[in-house]
Amino acid sequence: MMFVKRTWKLFLALSLAALLLLLGTGTVWAQGPAPTGEYRELAGVGSRLAVWMAAQLHLNFAAFVLAVPMFALVIEFMGWRRKEKRFDRLAHEMARLLPPAFSITAILGAMMAILLFTLYPRFMGYLTDIMGPTMWVYPLFFLAETFSLYFYYYSWNQLQGNKKWIHLLLGLALNIFGTAILFTADSWATFMMTPGGVDEVGNLTSLYNAVWNPGWMPLNIHRLVANITLGALLAGAYAAYRFIAAEREEDRAFYDWMGYTGNLIALFTMLFLPFVGYYFGFELFSYSATYGVTLMGGVLSWLFIIQAIVIAVLFIGAAYYAWLGLIRIPGSEAQRKWTPVFNVVLIVGFMVWATPHTMAASIEESTGGFHPILGALGVMAPKMIAVTLILVVLYASYLLYRRAGRVLTVPWSRTGNIIQWGALGLTAVAITVLGVVGYFSSAETRIDTSVLQIVVLMIGIAFTFTLDVFLLRGSQTVAAVRWGSMPQRGQYVLIALAFVIVWLMGLMGYARSGVRLNWHVFGIMEDTSAGAGLPSLGEAAIVITLITLIFFALLAVSFAISGMMGRDPVVEAEAEASRGQRLQAAGERA
């Protein structure tokens, strides 16, 4: 009976979500086929806008349902190995967000496919001709992922104890099938950008090369990392809302910890995002240098100024939340005094990152030259210095966070500290020197120095972190972390970060698709439809914001459904027992 009630509610909620989306996109079909048979127009909205919104909403949800199982599985595994129940509860809490979100993902995916096949029949016919076999396999992966997901979630309480490994295997299967789906869909998206496996006029010569085209693996890696960041921040926002609404102390403590974990995962993966993005961009540039020009010096160059500002908000916000978290740790005053310094460095770094090398307002106005003043900062070398130093600062703040509330006990702690911070300082100096050398060198040398900067950063992190592990060995904790004591503004930051990452994802989705300009498949099939141009960045920003708001409206419905699933009975029983023990102990002390 309970199951029927839940199913009915689920159906109602999803129907409402679908209706909301239909109203949002204003889906009104034009009558009859277009004269050419190549395109149909969606009256009132426009084909491109309808596909854009459906695709981006689908991608946002897909990223969420692919990412959450990744860290849910890792957290569950950690809980199993460490025998810590709170990890298992956290993983379960994250997994409970999946079933409704998964259904919405499927609905949006179907909507996108229907829009594409009906509005762009010639293009989709061609794509099907090339990628047909992968499109047949795709639903099988989807079916396998569906079974894995529902078994994974609904068998959580049954598969505990000595059956936990079966549950972990289910989680692993869920992740494997989810990743297979991502990689398959990426092959279609990247074939449109960097087509491979076809001759000059687009005839298929090798399906393998069509799938493994030059942009495929870079986008796979980029999306994997970015999805985890997105999923972690959305889980963090969920925790923030639950924290705000929590009436019990233990719930507040739990959701504070969940928010902290989400932000930590996001911060960690954000360290890699600039590099995997650079890798993707580099492969695009290698395929056709005009991609690089369109993105960085042509019609989309101002987009990257917006991107730098959005990423700055994201990094500074995530770092601010982490620094604010020091409040939870008694004895962390020494670390807190560094936060203004770090903030200044981050802001200056992002100002350099956001500097354009030219102030051209349009492609016609562009002369290919650099601005006389801004040009010095608006090129690759200073931006690489800025980005890499930002990462050094974020890492340094993480090192300080590890120290908060702890007293080192190893006899060589003073020497170790000097070596550790000296090495980090040396890393920053080496990165700066390499950047300056690159600035005054040829483009080829500059690429080499930028790679060396990343290598130096990695070596610096590896060395200092290893040293830190030994420095903290046997250290004394001043007092336990006071989970649940995070101020409300910390929750506001978590929620804002979730909105910002979704907006950023929309912006970069627009850049990735827009960089093809008027090509369905770059160099192979031209887009001759009425909406083949690019809107202004102002208009694009409005559409991206609308997509973001619709996404969160749908996500709110999804989270509300998750909330209807009720409290986990196993967790509740344990919480009740623990509360009883605490009361009993308090009574005895009294």
How many residues are there in the chain?
590
Closest distance between other proteins and the C-beta of residue 533, in Å?
Answer: 4
In the complex with other proteins, which residue's Cβ is closer, 10 or 305? Answer: 305
- In the complex, what is the shortest distance from the CB of residue 444 to other proteins, in angstroms, rounded to a whole number? 8
Count other C-beta atoms under 10 Å from residue 223's C-beta. 25
Provide, rounded to whole angstroms, the least separation between the CB of residue 113 and other proteins.
Answer: 26
By beta-carbon proximity to other proteins, the closer residue of 249 and 539 is: 539
CB of 27 vs other proteins, minimal distance in Å? 24
> Cβ(328)–Cβ(483) under 8 Å?
yes
Looking at residue 475, its amino acid is S
Residue 77: CB minimum distance to other proteins, A: 32
Q: Is the dihedral of CA 96, 98, 101, 107 positive or negative?
A: negative
What is 249-290 written as a DSSP string? HHHHHHHHHHHHHHHHHHHHHHTTHHHHHHHHHHHHHHH-HH
The least distance separating other proteins from the CB of residue 496, rounded to whole angstroms, comes to: 4
Residues 492/494/496/498 CA torsion (nearest 10 deg): -150
Q: Smallest distance from the beta carbon of 538 to other proteins, in angstroms?
A: 4
477 φ, ψ (degrees, to nearest 5): -90, 130
- Please answer whether residues 574 and 568 qualify as being in contact, where contact means their C-beta atoms are separated by less than 8 angstroms: no
User: Distance between CA atoms of 507 and 335, rounded to whole angstroms?
Assistant: 35
Name which of 181 and 235 has its Cβ closer to other proteins: 235
> In sequence order, what DSSP letters do the residues of 206-248 get, joined into one string?
-HHHHHT-TTHHHHHHHHHHHHHHHHHHHHHHHHHHHHHH--S
Provide the residue type at 41 as one letter: E
Triad 277, 280, 285: Cα angle to 5°? 120
Give CA–CA dist 432/39, Å, rounded.
52
**Shortest Cβ 227–other proteins spacing (Å):** 20
CB 364 → other proteins: shortest distance, Å?
A: 5
Q: Phi first, then psi: what are they for 524, rounded to 5°?
A: -115, -55
Of 193, 195, 224, which is closest to residue 211 (Cα–Cα)?
195
Tokens of 105: 């993902």
Compare residues 242 and 328 and give the one whose CB is closer to other proteins.
Answer: 242
C-beta of 227 vs 548, nearer to other proteins: 548
Nearer to other proteins, 111 or 310 (CB): 310
Radius of gyration of the chain (CA): 26
The single residue listed with the structure tokens 């500097």 is: 355
Query: Please, what is the minimum distance in Å from the beta carbon of residue 102 to other proteins?
Result: 24
Nearer to other proteins, 391 or 534 (CB): 534
Q: How many CB atoms lie within 10 A of CB 28?
A: 11
Looking at the Cβ atoms of 415 and 488, the one nearer to other proteins is 488
Residues at the contact surface with other proteins, assessed by CB under 8 A: 200, 240-241, 244-245, 288-290, 292-294, 297-302, 305-306, 309-310, 313, 359-364, 366-370, 443-444, 488, 491-493, 495-496, 498-500, 503, 517-519, 522-524, 526-528, 532-542, 545, 548
Residue placing its CB nearer to other proteins in the complex, 541 or 565: 541
Largest CA distance in the chain: 87
**What are 215's two structure tokens?**
């942009």
Both tokens of residue 34?
Answer: 């277009």
Closer residue to other proteins, CB minimum distance, 37 or 538: 538
**Smallest distance from other proteins to CB 274, Å:** 19
Of 472 and 553, the one with the shorter C-beta distance to other proteins is 553
Nearer to other proteins, 262 or 297 (CB): 297
Give the C-alpha separation, 342 to 395, whole Å. Answer: 11
- Cα distance between residue 108 and residue 52, in whole Å: 12
> If residue 329 lies in a helix (H) or strand (E), which one and from where to where?
none
> Which residue's CB is nearer to other proteins, number 169 or number 245?
245
Q: Would you say 57 and 21 are in contact if contact means Cβ atoms under 8 Å apart?
A: yes
- Compute the least distance from the CB of residue 363 to other proteins, in Å: 5
Cβ 292 to other proteins shortest distance, Å: 8
Q: Which is nearer to other proteins, 35 or 372 (CB)?
A: 372
Minimum gap (Å) between residue 279 Cβ and other proteins: 19
Angle at 156 between CA 155 and CA 160, to 5 degrees: 105
Q: How far is the CB of 149 from other proteins (least distance, A)?
A: 28
What the block records as the tokens of 188 is 């279609």
Residue with smaller CB distance to other proteins, 138 or 510: 510
Distances (CA, A) of 15 to 101, 118, 223, 349: 13, 22, 29, 46
Going by C-beta distance under 8 Å and a sequence separation of 6 or more, which residues neighbour residue 521? 123, 126, 127, 191, 192, 195, 202
- Which of 558, 568, 560, 567 lies closest to 156 in space, CA to CA? 568
Using an 8 Å Cβ cutoff, are 25 and 53 in contact? yes
